[in-house]
Structure 1
Amino acid sequence: MDKNTYIPEDFIEDVKCYLPEHLNLDDFIDHCQKPLRLSIRVNTLKMSIDEFELEAQKLGWQITPVPWCPEGFWITRSEEEQANLPIGNTALHLSGCIYVQEASSMLPPLALRSEIENIQTDHYAVLDMAAAPGSKTSQLCALMENKGLLVANEFSSSRLKVLAANMKRMGIANCALSHFDGKIFGDYMYECFDHIQLDAPCSGEGTVRKDASALKNWSIQSNVDISNVQKDLIRSAFLALKPGGSLVYSTCTLTPLENQQVCTFLLEEFAGAVEIIPLDNLFENANQATTSEGYLHVWPQIYDSEGFFIAKFKKISSVEHHNQQRKKGAFPFEPFAAKAHQAFSSYLKKQFKIKQLPGTLMQRDKELWLFPEKLEEVQNKIKYARLGIKVGSIHKNGVRLEHELATAFGHLAATNVHALSDKQATEYFQGKDVRLENPTNQTGEVILTLCGAPVGLGKWQKNKIKNNLPRDLIAQGQLITWV
């Protein structure tokens, strides 16, 4: 029990007003003061579930499946390993094969799983309106198998940098990042998205198990103020959603002010054009957390998790919107010149035997970017912070490859691939050149892998591989090995 967890009396009195009859207040308080179980999600863009299970067995990790997420596992590590090597410094994490993610936070993307799996084309667009740090964003991209387009928006500039770094590590290739107040999407991208995830900013009442001070500034007035922001966001999301599309609204809070009442606002604002999709059959025993409306209201004691709320809606008809806006200014990219395109493709074939990259190559000044194919329809609707992935820098002698090409498409390479040992991986992630056991005659760029997954680029030199890891991704401290 974490006795440092701060739970205000006013908060407890408020909870009494809406705690479901089948749940016990003492159980709720007890679970709020228990540490969370460590959980991770396997990133299937880089590693299969079977491969992860084998790797976990080798490491001596005890794993328990998260019942609602096939890619999710609770993990128990030895006290010695846990103390000496944080999971974020393990090879599985550094390689992007796993993402440390609380089990209940895996639920919102899963509410869109059936829609994504049933799409018959790769030509579709999904919006993640409040994306950072990227757990649910990368989960959606994995469900999408890096196809289609995911627009990931984040209002906070500092959190946007974290989001971008996580997308690189996880090998995301079908993502465009934007940096706006989510209220603009309904105006500038009216009925552009096939499906939308809105994991709304909230008071975080459900996160006290990982943040003992989460309720430090709690007040009903703050709940009211945040709910007003949430109503603006969910209205914007519904306007940006195509007819026939699904909208998933979620928070990591418990109060109906930020949950049920925000949903009621949506239903009243767009009466006749929206319907609830019940989530009682989303997974086995989901009915234990299902409200009378069909929402999931996950209390910490139900599944021994964080508190969470998830609602799903379908847009059954178009709605009028008289305040649509258009972005001003020219689009700063142009198609990559045909001759240079041919030379670049020839180099990829010669060096790595990569036949073709999925997407469209575009140039901005001396930067070469690969856009998801769906992007063309929405690329000039708003100004993006990043579009697709940066695959290279253009020089007079050709294209120098960038880190993201390796993390997103390194699995396509058949030659000039080097599997890092634990020792070499430690050197690589600390920004050092990778020393080779034996001299090599190979030349040019090389894709580096860890746990079978591509993690970056280097350049062959006689006795080493020159490190090309971007400076903002260089790790400090102990990595991978421990004593």
Structure 2
Amino acid sequence: MKELLGEKDYEAYVRSFDEERLYGLRVNTLKITPENFTEITSLSLRPVPWTANGFYYEGDERPAKDPYYYAGLYYLQEPSAMTPASLLPVVPGDKILDLCAAPGGKSTELGAKLNGTGMLVSNDISSSRAKALLKNLELWGIENICVTSEEPKKLKETFGAFFDKILIDAPCSGEGMFRKDADMVKSYEEHGPEYYAQIQKEIVNQAVDMLVPGGLLLYSTCTFSVCEDEDIIRFILEQHQDMELVSLPLFEGASDGIGLSGCLRLFPHRIKGEGHFMALLRKKQSSPLPDTIGKLPEKRTVLPEELTEFLSMTAKPIDQSRIRIKHEMVYYLPEGFPEHAGNLRFLRTGLLLGEMKKGRFEPAQAFAMALKVQEFKQRVCWEKSDERVIRYLKGETISLKEEEGQIKGWCLVCVDGFPLGFAKGTGSTLKNKYYPGWRWQ
């Protein structure tokens, strides 16, 4: 680091370790604007300068113990880690791959930017980490997802040149996380930069081949090591003549690449964050690669009567040709989903609508989170201060107040107009259908 920064800058870098780590959250723009969120939250927030929907909060606050968190209104994320997804220029209809996606900080932002269009494939090689990724995507109400747990090579063999945008937040030595997580120091001592550089080269080689001509690839790490950062970008440019570097704009506190202009570096002594490296590359149009899979064929699934009856209660636009029923589970596939990719290890294909159970349809928690309050005919809405909100999140049966009237059948439970999940009314009582694995602890 002394060689990297120089004597004076190095001293400032070392002093930054005596400062407290910073805490951040990013607002879910699928559900609420940053401006509206600041009006309703009780958290003490300050804007993150480089991310429009990012905020700092105080370390003694507990935003994960708030009904708005359970409503998917925000994601807890280290401020500098918000930068990669914010810099990838997503447009409606994009097919996006987040290659090393768990636990979902960058995928949730990419999904929000797609705003229900196109498709987001979020992959993590670790099955257990991919499960946490899936929860975060569903909590955010992102419906056009595919969550996989595969080696990048297997994805390349299946998809070929398919994606418009790819984000690689690569596994790395984690120097930028030392202040945040002391265990990262132990990991660094076991596996240093050279170990991770080899893994990174393997990953980027597979990723480039999955990018369509004209497509963009954003590479990022949370380390400061040149051999894991600029050297990997040089490796891509040397190995793939059809790739070119796209300069990222500097902002206050950000630094240019070291020996490779156009990259972006964030250091903890120059910004209020832990640190990150980013570079954006484009595949030139002159070297097309053929797609290996086709699009979702147009076919109309004959839906069970119970499912049709439930769907009649929602005003959410649903294209019936994209509904699939497999092993009694009902899925709503993303537009253009490649069904020939069925050989992959999927944790989820699209939005889980629910499950067929002996002549009835049971809606899924993920379906509730993808709805807006006005999109379900029968609903109950409580203020956050209502003690029944926490009781509902804990899985308890809820009694309605006399003035709320009687409710029979499925209803959407909301806090301040934001869905939390489903319940089933039996008159003045709501039978709790909140997903047990998500309950308030």
Could you state the TM-score of these two structures normalised by the residue count of structure 1? Answer: 0.83
Residues 45-124 of structure 1 mapped to structure 2, 5 A cutoff: 45-56=30-41, 59=42, 61-76=43-58, 82=61, 86-113=62-89, 116-117=90-91, 119=92, 122=93, 124=94
Q: 2:254 touches 2:270 (CA, 8 Å); kept in 1?
A: no
1:431 aligned residue: 395
User: What letter corresponds to residue 194 of structure 1 in structure 2?
Assistant: D
User: What letter corresponds to residue 301 of structure 1 in structure 2?
Assistant: H
Give secondary structure in 2 for the equivalent of 1:166: helix
User: What letter corresponds to residue 386 of structure 1 in structure 2?
Assistant: R
Judged with a 3 Å threshold, the aligned counterparts in structure 2 of structure 1 residues 429 and 46 are, in CA distance, closer, same or farther, namely same
CA distance in 2, matches of 1:206, 1:166: 23
1:209 to 175, 179, 185: 179
Residue range with higher mean Cα deviation, 356-365 or 36-45: 356-365
Q: 2:301 touches 2:320 (CA, 8 Å); kept in 1?
A: no
Q: 2:424 touches 2:430 (CA, 8 Å); kept in 1?
A: yes
CA distance in 1, matches of 2:320, 2:168: 28
CA distance in 1, matches of 2:248, 2:200: 21
User: What letter corresponds to residue 109 of structure 2 in structure 1?
Assistant: Q
1:279 to 248, 253, 264: 248
Deviation of 1:339 after TM superposition, in Å, equals: 5.0
1:3 aligned residue: none
Deviation of 1:166 after TM superposition, in Å, equals: 1.1
Q: 1:125 touches 1:194 (CA, 8 Å); kept in 2?
A: yes
Residue range with higher mean Cα deviation, 250-259 or 376-385: 376-385
CA distance in 2, matches of 1:174, 1:231: 29
Deviation of 1:23 after TM superposition, in Å, equals: 6.1
Deviation of 1:406 after TM superposition, in Å, equals: 0.8
CA distance in 1, matches of 2:8, 2:235: 27
Residue range with higher mean Cα deviation, 448-457 or 284-293: 284-293
2:103 to 110, 133, 139: 133
CA distance in 2, matches of 1:358, 1:71: 34
2:279 aligned residue: 311
Judged with a 3 Å threshold, the aligned counterparts in structure 2 of structure 1 residues 378 and 44 are, in CA distance, closer, same or farther, namely farther
1:33 to 14, 18, 30: 18
User: What letter corresponds to residue 338 of structure 1 in structure 2?
Assistant: V
2:4 to 18, 25, 38: 18
CA distance in 2, matches of 1:359, 1:128: 26
Q: 2:216 touches 2:280 (CA, 8 Å); kept in 1?
A: yes
Q: 2:422 touches 2:432 (CA, 8 Å); kept in 1?
A: yes
Give secondary structure in 2 for the equivalent of 1:215: helix
Give secondary structure in 2 for the equivalent of 1:373: coil
Q: 1:419 touches 1:449 (CA, 8 Å); kept in 2?
A: yes
Deviation of 1:396 after TM superposition, in Å, equals: 4.7
Give secondary structure in 2 for the equivalent of 1:301: coil
CA distance in 1, matches of 2:359, 2:351: 22
CA distance in 1, matches of 2:120, 2:64: 25
2:424 aligned residue: 459
2:194 aligned residue: 224
2:407 to 429, 442, 445: 442
Give secondary structure in 2 for the equivalent of 1:162: helix
2:323 to 317, 341, 361: 361
Judged with a 3 Å threshold, the aligned counterparts in structure 2 of structure 1 residues 289 and 303 are, in CA distance, closer, same or farther, namely farther
CA distance in 2, matches of 1:358, 1:69: 37
Q: 1:189 touches 1:381 (CA, 8 Å); kept in 2?
A: no
CA distance in 2, matches of 1:358, 1:17: 60
Judged with a 3 Å threshold, the aligned counterparts in structure 2 of structure 1 residues 338 and 321 are, in CA distance, closer, same or farther, namely closer
Deviation of 1:334 after TM superposition, in Å, equals: 11
1:300 to 268, 275, 280: 268
User: What letter corresponds to residue 344 of structure 1 in structure 2?
Assistant: L
CA distance in 2, matches of 1:296, 1:217: 25
CA distance in 2, matches of 1:377, 1:459: 34
Q: 1:137 touches 1:152 (CA, 8 Å); kept in 2?
A: yes
Q: Relative contact order, CA 8 A, sep 6+: which one is greater?
A: 1
Q: 1:447 touches 1:457 (CA, 8 Å); kept in 2?
A: yes
- Alignment pair present for 1:164 and 2:164: no
1:344 aligned residue: 307
Could you state the TM-score of these two structures normalised by the residue count of structure 2? Answer: 0.91
Deviation of 1:359 after TM superposition, in Å, equals: 7.4
CA distance in 2, matches of 1:467, 1:343: 20
Deviation of 1:173 after TM superposition, in Å, equals: 0.6
1:247 aligned residue: 217
Post-superposition Cα deviations, 1:121-143, rounded to whole Å, max 9, x if no partner, equal x3x31000011101110010011
CA distance in 2, matches of 1:426, 1:471: 14
CA distance in 2, matches of 1:218, 1:311: 23
CA distance in 2, matches of 1:359, 1:40: 37
User: What letter corresponds to residue 374 of structure 1 in structure 2?
Assistant: G
Give secondary structure in 1 for the equivalent of 2:261: coil
- Alignment pair present for 1:188 and 2:188: no
Give secondary structure in 1 for the equivalent of 2:226: coil
- CA RMSD in angstroms, aligned pairs only: 2.8
Q: 2:407 touches 2:428 (CA, 8 Å); kept in 1?
A: no
- Alignment pair present for 1:399 and 2:361: yes
Using the aligned pairs only, state the percent identity: 26
Deviation of 1:52 after TM superposition, in Å, equals: 0.4
CA distance in 2, matches of 1:384, 1:288: 39
1:413 aligned residue: 375
Q: 1:204 touches 1:252 (CA, 8 Å); kept in 2?
A: yes
Unaligned runs of 5+ in 2: none
Unaligned runs of 5+ in 1: 1-14, 477-483
User: What letter corresponds to residue 16 of structure 1 in structure 2?
Assistant: K
CA distance in 1, matches of 2:202, 2:395: 44
Q: 2:212 touches 2:289 (CA, 8 Å); kept in 1?
A: no
Judged with a 3 Å threshold, the aligned counterparts in structure 2 of structure 1 residues 359 and 418 are, in CA distance, closer, same or farther, namely farther
CA distance in 2, matches of 1:36, 1:197: 26
Q: 2:256 touches 2:262 (CA, 8 Å); kept in 1?
A: no
Judged with a 3 Å threshold, the aligned counterparts in structure 2 of structure 1 residues 74 and 88 are, in CA distance, closer, same or farther, namely same
